[in-house]
Amino acid sequence: MKIHEFQAKEILRQAGVAVPRSIVAKTPEEASAAYTELGGKIAVVKAQIHAGGRGKGTVKDNADQRGVQLVKSAEEAAAVAKGLLGKELVTIQTGPEGKQVNQILVEEGCDIQRELYLGIVLDRAAKLPVLMMSSEGGTEIEEVAAHTPEKIFKEHFDPALGPQSFQIRKLCKKLEISGPAARSAEKFIKGLCKVYVDTDCALAEINPLVITGDGGMIALDCKMTFDENALFRHKDLVELRDLSEEEPAEVRAQNTGLSYVKLDGNIGCLVNGAGLAMSTMDIIKLHGGEPANFLDVGGGANVDQVTEAFSILLDDNNVKAVLVNIFGGIMRCTTIANALLEAYKKLDFNVPLVVRLEGTEVEQGRKLLADSGIDIIIADGLTDAAKKVVATVA
């Protein structure tokens, strides 16, 4: 689960991790008042969307309006807010369609002496969180990893103990951080790592992490995502979820108990089992097609879930054909066949439907489909199914 920058910074602030003073605004008037309340000579107005690259991003139809902009007066803050709010901001992570900006963050200026990168993720191979730091703050870390990986320094740490002081000193030495800044680093890094562990983060990223003129360390930006499987332990974090930032079809699917991820292709996929769903997408690609989604209905799907799954697929205007790929293990092929036929009757099925069944009660399931009188393309095997569904959209 993703949250906004201002929400992540509030979590850090409550944990004693240094962040700039800031105020959220939803209108130009609120942005103007926020600038005045902060009381500095300069401030930064930041679009709040669930995407990175906002500083280089631009508003659709207005390339002069950036997603992050320095302002020097209340009037200028209001003008920038007006240029952002209600507009679509296009960044390297949003795609050409962009994301609508519904709120902004007005943040006090900062005495920046140096910019660094700091990130924490789970290293699944090591089975430990890994703390990563780089001198290349303010740039895309993916670019650093691709072109100058030697500039990224890593330290694994025990989540129960947090990073040890000697590990932080090692990182400071490699990054040439000394004096007051090194002392600030000790408090900042230990605090951030504790937040990462305590809130079951999947990612905690500070970019840039700023060293100020007096040697302080402060999070100028913050990105946090959380392990959804652990949210039952964090009811307060669930309340931070912004559904307007999420794909509506994915929210629908989640509310129905389905695992769905929207993609850019034109062949809808309805499959039981995550591994089989991945294989289905792979074989569609192998035969020249483009999957429109990942959709796993699970092993115990009922008629209502299958109907909703088809409804989600058919509501996607990009979907020109649907492939149903079911391996009957826990779920019998007759069950999915009956559910499929019921769903077909309830929905306006206006695209070709290819069905591949295999496993428990497969012959009975195929017979149900064949005797239904419905225009369904029956496939014999996964390769045959992929070839047939790709042919329908060719």
Could you tell me which residues are annotated as the binding site?
46, 53-55, 107, 110, 115, 207, 221, 272, 329-331
Q: Choosing from 205, 308, 358, 361, which is the catalytic residue?
A: 205
Buried-exposed string 344-358: b where 16+ CB fall within 10 A, e elsewhere: beeeebebbbbbbbb
Residue 152, C-beta contacts closer than 8 angstroms, at least 6 positions apart = 117, 132, 133, 134, 141, 144, 145
Active site residue 97: no
Q: Secondary structure of 200-216 in the HEC alphabet?
A: CEEEEEEEEEEEECCCC
Active site residue 108: no
Q: Which residues are annotated as a binding site for ATP?
A: 46, 53-55, 107, 110, 115
| Dist CA 263 CA 137 (whole Å) | 31
Q: Choosing from 117, 196, 260, 344, which is the catalytic residue?
A: 117
Name beta bridge partners: 69.
45
Q: Which residues are annotated as a binding site for Mg(2+)?
A: 207, 221
Q: What is the DSSP string of 342-368?
A: HHHHHS---S-EEEEEEETTHHHHHHH
| Dist CA 326 CA 355 (whole Å) | 8
**How does DSSP classify residue 131?**
E
Give the number of residues written for the chain: 394
Reduced to 3 states (helix: H, G, I; strand: E, B; else coil), residue 155 is strand
| Dist CA 226 CA 244 (whole Å) | 18
Q: Which two tokens stand for residue 26?
A: 């939803």
Catalytic residues: 117, 205
